[in-house]
Chains A and B, each alone.
Chain A
């Protein structure tokens, strides 16, 4: 169209109107885009209502075995944890610690190669021993001599009872195969359930299941065949 001097004024009016309309429409548009129902996983559970009477809501075997934060569990009941020096500490978990009892530990030598899912160490009691799988790939750079020398087995399996340290080149890939945090707790709870079924196979859980497994529960349950039961749990 031909340019007209007077057309400047309606154009300016339209421009200001458009700017104001944009600002007025943008606010509800923004609120619409950012709104919506949250994802199902993000809905917080309602706060539990305190019961008038104490209710025994816990499973009978809850809390038998512990795993701290930062520890990654292997399905064969070994653990790996990234230390501040960049190495990976390896040990056996609380379940294995209590199952085998006063354990004699056979550790790999410094410089040995370990592979995830391959036997790397042994726990022994008396004349028998069972191999256990390494949770991580790498080269052994340090061994906990105190764990090997202690005659009554390792205490504090996640702390002073670490067994050896590994320089792990494929840490990210290895850690994806392990359980951590809630998955680790769930894994140990499953192991607890299976152990409870060994105690009372006909009855399952009964009222007297208030205690915790003793150190050396494997021998107490299976006698001299404790190593076969341990192998089923340790996947060896």
Chain B
């Protein structure tokens, strides 16, 4: 009996964790140049995270009383959350709108969203001066605060993403009974994910309603929350195109070859072209509504034009051309520009165009940059670990999908 249990445990570890290899073989398989780069990043980044909590914000960042947030909020939090919008975008397309063709890319989109939110929360904890106070949102309902809404929605949505992720997790573990329960709950979870995402993607923009004069007039508008939500949809579409192209190339042996990724990419390219075209005109309307066309002649105006024309209108036209003529490589290239455009927008609003008229501008320190790179690296490593073991890019033969 003890021997049987030991053999069973050894079999689970070997088959599930070590991919059928022994410990020695598995460790040897980790010796790759990519892992060497990741190790170098982590060796410096993880002690930096510890140092931040040991020595405080002042010792590790260039934040100050006049620049209370910086790269960790702008990049890790805001950009991380908006790039994770693929989860609710593709989830609603498949579960709510009935576009079953996109089922093959729904699970990687949800996994990317889940890891994106976890990394965003870690970045947020690193930025908070008193991170232990974050649990007070559970007890003190500061309902007049925009951040209260953001805290609750991010907390609830991360939980929803975790529950959605349990479907492939339980397939990997072979827990059939609870797996069927979670699978039946997927539609309800998708409805919740759309509700929570709509609220907090826009609420992140509502933060800047509190400080209208700190944000440059070219980026500030009373409707900034609408722009945050529409750009989240743009980020979701672009990120899914980009991520599915990468995954199906890097993890070819793990991918389901029945999924026609090229056809799905063309469909997503059409959607991205239309949404970005509409968003471009929304941007023009906000420019006119704010009477801020005079700023177009300044340096910030040129930067605004780079963001709006170069990273919204141009990829929209490229998406249109690529979708019409079925050029998948062109659509993927445009999705890279689209993702960078959303990142640029969030960094502009939270860091670059924020406090735009002060003389002591905030510039992130090297430790802030390295911690950000570390968090992205941890997310990528976690994604790779999960895809190599769980049925993310392909279905599990023991759990056939019903048609």
Contacts and interface: CB of A to CB of B under 8 A. Distances in A.
Interface in A11-36: 11, 14-15, 18-19, 21-22, 26, 29-30, 32-36
Nearest to B399: A172
Counting chain A residues whose Cβ lies within 8 A of the other chain, the interface size class is 20 to 34
A18 B397 contact: no
Contacts of B148: none
Nearest to A8: B291
B288 A11 contact: yes
A115 interface: no
A39 B326 contact: yes
A26 B270 CA distance: 13
A38 to B, nearest CB: 9
A172 B288 contact: no
Contacts of A11: 288-289, 291
Contacts of A30: 274
A32 B288 contact: no
A1 interface: yes
Contacts of B284: 18
Given A3-B291, A170-B397, A33 B285 contact: no
A7 interface: yes
Interface string B286-301: 0011011011000000
Interface residues of B, number: 26
A173 B325 CA distance: 35
Nearest to A12: B288
A173 B278 contact: no
A171 B400 contact: yes
Contacts of A36: 323-326
A15 B400 contact: no
Given A33-B273, A36-B325, A19 B285 contact: yes
B320 interface: yes
B277 A172 contact: no
Interface of B is mostly: helix
Contacts of A18: 281, 284-285, 288
B398 A35 contact: no
B288 A29 contact: no
A171 B395 CA distance: 13
A42 to B, nearest CB: 11
B359 interface: no
Contacts of A21: 281
A3 B291 CA distance: 8
A170 B396 CA distance: 10
Contacts of A15: 285, 288-289
A36 B291 CA distance: 40
A14 B295 CA distance: 16
Interface in A147-172: 169-172
Contacts of A3: 291
B270 to A, nearest CB: 5
B320 A29 contact: yes
Contacts of B273: 29, 33
B165 to A, nearest CB: 22
B136 interface: no
B31 interface: no
A37 B324 CA distance: 8
A172 B403 CA distance: 11
A97 B397 CA distance: 31
Contacts of B325: 36-37
B401 interface: yes
Contact of A29 (B258, B277, B292, B400): B277
A15 B285 CA distance: 6
Given A11-B289, A18-B285, A39-B326, A33 B295 contact: no
Nearest to A13: B288
Contact of B320 (A32, A171, A173): A32
A138 to B, nearest CB: 13
A1 B295 contact: yes
Contacts of A7: 291
A29 B401 CA distance: 37
A34 B324 CA distance: 6
Contacts of B398: 169-170
A26 B278 contact: yes
A62 to B, nearest CB: 30
B281 A33 contact: no
B184 to A, nearest CB: 18
A33 B289 contact: no
Interface in B282-320: 284-285, 288-289, 291-292, 294-295, 319-320
Contacts of B294: 1
Interface string A29-69: 11011111101000000000000000000000000000000
A33 B395 CA distance: 32
A108 B278 CA distance: 65
A1 B301 CA distance: 13
A115 to B, nearest CB: 14
A110 to B, nearest CB: 24
B326 to A, nearest CB: 7
A70 to B, nearest CB: 13
A37 B323 CA distance: 11
24 contacts: A1-B292, A1-B294, A1-B295, A7-B291, A11-B291, A15-B285, A15-B288, A15-B289, A18-B288, A19-B285, A29-B274, A32-B320, A33-B320, A34-B324, A36-B324, A36-B326, A37-B326, A170-B397, A170-B398, A170-B400, A172-B397, A172-B400, A172-B401, A173-B400
Given A14-B288, A15-B285, 6 more contacts: A1-B292, A18-B281, A19-B285, A29-B320, A33-B319, A170-B397
Interface of B: 258, 270, 273-274, 277-278, 281, 284-285, 288-289, 291-292, 294-295, 319-320, 323-326, 395, 397-398, 400-401
